[in-house]
Every structure is written in structure tokens, then in C-alpha cells.
Amino acid sequence: MLRGADMKLLDFNNLTQYMSPKSLLFWQENDAILAISQVRYADDSPNLLIVTGEKPMTLSQFTARLREMSSETQIFAQNQHPIFGFRLTLNDKIPHIILK
């Protein structure tokens, strides 16, 4: 069972509410930056796991899929490690939100 994550859905929503809905979502694992392409429920838990893939989802897609979730829902990486926060990069044409 997943426990101990610092990043709750409420935290994420509050911190990203004024960011561009077109911002792209990524996950930083060590030195690699991976596109977040999906979210899924964690086994036997009300929490969520991000799933990496080839094409990143937008902030708008992410929030739309999680609109009905409890604000206390916690977000974890696909390897079940807790997500503690994120950083924003503005170097690209479309801003990148990189969870870590």
C-alpha cells in the first residue's frame, strides 16, 4: 500500500491553477525526463499513479481526468515513489511541468 506522499491532488491543483492549461506534464526520474501520458488508480488504494509514455498529457487533460477525485488523493510515480513537488520550465514554446 502506498503511504507517505507529500503531494496531494489539492496541493497540485492549488499550485498550478494559474498556469497555462496547455502546459505539458513530465516526470523526472534521476537524470531522465519522461512524458506523463496517463494516470491510473494504485492497487488497493484511493491514490493515483502517473504513467509515463511517448506523448505528454497537458495540464488541462490531467485536471479534467481528476476533477471528481478527493482533494486528499495522493499522487505517486509509477514506481510507487512519492511525488514531492514539481518545477516549471519556460524555455520551451509550451511550458513544462516536471514532477519529481
At 22-33, the pLDDT tens digits run 999 999 988 999
pLDDT-derived band of residue 1, with 50, 70 and 90 as boundaries? very low
Structural domain for 81, as ranges: 9-99
- Whether 76 maps to a domain, the answer reads yes
**Cβ-contact 69, 45 below 8 angstroms:** no
The pLDDT value given to residue 61: 96
Q: Name the DSSP letter for residue 56.
A: P
Grid cell digits, residue 27: 516526470
* Residue 88, number of CB atoms within 10 A of its CB: 13
- The count of structural domains within the chain is 1
Residue 95 counted as domain residue: yes
* Half-sphere exposure at residue 76, Cβ-oriented, CA atoms within 13 angstroms: 20
Nearest to 80 by CA among 56, 44, 53: 44
pLDDT tens for 49-80 read 999 999 999 999 999 988 888 888 899 998 88
| Distance between CA atoms of residues 79 and 69, nearest Å | 21
